[in-house]
Chain A
Amino acid sequence: MIEARDLTKLFSDRKRGLVRAADGISFTCRPGEIFGLLGANGAGKTTTLRLLATLLQPTAGTAIVAGHDIVHEPAKVRANIGFLSGNTALYGKLTAREMVAYFGRLHGMAETDLDARINEIFTALDMHGFAQGRCDRLSTGQKQRVSIARAIVHRPPVMIFDEPTTGLDVITARTIMGFIERCRDDGLTVLFSTHVMSEVERLCHRVAVIHEGRLTAEGTLAELRETTGETALERVFLHLVGVTA
């Protein structure tokens, strides 16, 4: 479960002055559902996800992730989340297996458990064929599977996806979408940020729209359509962020 309570992050910028990257954001994401954060580039999605992943400290407010407070128990929060971003890269000189094992060890997994878990994931994702291949020599699809394996090796109850399909081809993007659905089916809490409407329509139970750091609307897609009186999700989004067609 993720429960964001008035999450606020202020930055001081030389050109723009005080920037409210996240401004009092509150929402709840439950186990077994995919919660979408929808917003344009620079709306505050990544900042919100970084706050939840304890990469950034909130200026005000807090969040409870997997039962732990992001301000007071950041290490416990990180131990319970899997984080996958479209910009995530791999360590090129490590093999696929070494890469996943490294993150397993960082999560404090014992070697025997780690070995068994890696074998289980590599079988599930069909990765044994390139397990000993160096990451910088893998195809984009293989790299993405290594990233997924790295994110789930420690069996996290919460998964956070930050625009995970950015820059990927259709086939690899499909793999990622399938993986997100599997996480939901396994009862994980899934938070998913995107600006691609088709992905929202396919995956999300509920959606929060972020615009200029503020949460402008939250609800199921049906609720948002009803609120705005629009049918096409793109028009719903534009309506909610105050852009008239």
Chain B
Amino acid sequence: MTAPASAARPPSPILTVFRKECLETFRDLRVLLSVVVSPLLLTPLILLIAAFFGGRKATEQQTQILEIALLGGGTPAALAEFLQTDDTLVFLDFADAEAAEEAIRERRLRAALVFADDDAERFAAGERIRPELLFDASNERSTTAHRRLLALLERFNQDELERRLAEAELPPEWTESVRSRTRNLATEAALGGFILGIILPYLVIMGAAFGGMTSAFDLCAGEKERGTLETLLVSPASRQDIILGKLLTIGLVSLISAFCSVAGLILALEVGLQFLATELQGMIAVSYPALVAVLFLVLPFALMTSALLLLISAVARNQKEAQAYVFPLIAVILLPAMLSFILDAETSSALALAPILNTALAMKQVMAGATDVLFVSLTLFASLAYAAVAMALVVVLFQKERILFRV
């Protein structure tokens, strides 16, 4: 029995090249490490370790015992009593301000409040006193002591103000005519998405843009270097089919890289939320439909960057040369990706035409649940157009003898 004609028919050259390149690419340990293992395991691990130590440090800073001195003859008794209620402060005695200054520099003392001799009398008379707060900004513990003393003084001031108002038989409104009450209308998901939307576009863009770099350089410059390109070009497959097969491979690797970057971050958040909860006050929430939309937005972008990487790879004589040529591209992609950190998601529609930045801002909108349909549509069309131009450019370049054989 003979096989049906359709089963016996050979696949298209694009598909043949794509299948072979995928086979080789996913057997490459370097690609697996950089595209899958690193974003899925190392990135979450690094984030969790950073969050764990960050959280521990924050707790330490709150409970750390710090050495403080109250100097000068005029320390108001009420203030001294108030400060001494804080268990995390230890009060040391020093002869004068000079001795305290030296102790702060030598890190035996963390901060000191220096009062004038008549400060106690002026305080009792209801005047404002201005003690000097000494600390060393180059020392972390001294800075913590400074911050903690300022917070305590603020609380003391509030209590003292209320006491003085009561003594003068004045209502609290006398010093404060308006006090607003705030009510945040954002849902937890929207707020979480907003915060995630700040970091996620950067991660996705970097993943999609450079995840396919190793493969791109291997697939063209690497073939030139190893001497396999000539053999491939002698096959009846057209150069256009060959380059499109390679482009699809790099596009797939870039998409997997972007997906793994997102998955790595989500994994870190889901697994390590107990560590991060203190730091982020429970403000991270993951919207999975929004994440799917983000991956959809990254499709044309990944095609464009894959074409640009392949372009570099086609021009370069070898992989080393390709690595040197890629630096300007890194800068060109890094800048708009970083700009998305500071730019507002609700922005002018004109920015939907700005390559790279448009994708980052559209992702930011989607993550915050504030999708501007016009902006996102324009972004998709513009990105597709840029991808088409980049792909056309690489196809044209791949026909050039001067580029392929450096003749």
Which A residues are within 8 Å of any B CB, using their own CB? 11, 21, 50, 53-57, 75-76, 78-79, 81, 83, 85, 87-94, 98, 102-103, 105-113, 150
Contacts and interface: CB of A to CB of B under 8 A. Distances in A.
- Closest 9 A/B residue pairs (Cβ): A106-B235, A110-B8, A89-B227, A79-B236, A83-B234, A93-B27, A105-B16, A93-B24, A89-B226
Contact of B234 (A21, A55, A87): A55
B396 to A, nearest CB: 15
In which size bucket is the chain B interface?
20 to 34
A232 B20 CA distance: 49
Given A11-B407, A76-B236, A91-B228, 15 more contacts: A55-B404, A57-B401, A75-B236, A81-B234, A88-B231, A89-B226, A89-B231, A94-B23, A98-B20, A102-B20, A103-B231, A106-B17, A106-B232, A108-B236, A111-B7
Given A102-B20, A103-B235, A111 B8 contact: yes
B133 interface: no
B238 A55 contact: no
A106 B7 CA distance: 16
Interface string B226-249: 111011111111100000000000
A57 B93 CA distance: 92
B13 interface: yes
B24 A108 contact: no
Nearest to B226: A89
A89 B10 CA distance: 25
Contacts of A107: 235-236
A88 B227 contact: yes
A112 B9 CA distance: 9
Contacts of B232: 106
B220 to A, nearest CB: 14
A109 B10 contact: yes
A94 B20 contact: yes
Contacts of A78: 234-236
Interface string B13-44: 10011001001100110000000000000000
A76 B234 CA distance: 11
Interface in B117-153: none
A88 B230 contact: yes
Contacts of B8: 110-113
A21 to B, nearest CB: 8
Contacts of B27: 93
Contacts of B407: 11, 21, 56
B11 interface: yes
25 contacts: A11-B407, A53-B234, A55-B233, A55-B234, A55-B404, A56-B405, A56-B407, A85-B231, A87-B230, A89-B228, A90-B228, A91-B20, A91-B24, A94-B20, A94-B24, A106-B13, A106-B16, A106-B17, A106-B237, A107-B236, A108-B10, A111-B10, A112-B3, A113-B8, A150-B231
Contact of B230 (A55, A79, A103): A55
Contacts of B235: 78, 103, 106-107
- Which of the listed residues A53, A75, A91, A98 has the most CB atoms from chain B within 10 Å of its own CB? A91
Nearest to A99: B20
Contacts of B28: 93
B343 to A, nearest CB: 43
A75 B234 CA distance: 9
Interface in B287-344: none
A84 B151 CA distance: 81
Contacts of A81: 234
A168 B327 CA distance: 39
A123 B11 CA distance: 26
A132 to B, nearest CB: 14
A53 B231 CA distance: 10
A54 B28 CA distance: 32
B11 A105 contact: yes
Contacts of A11: 407
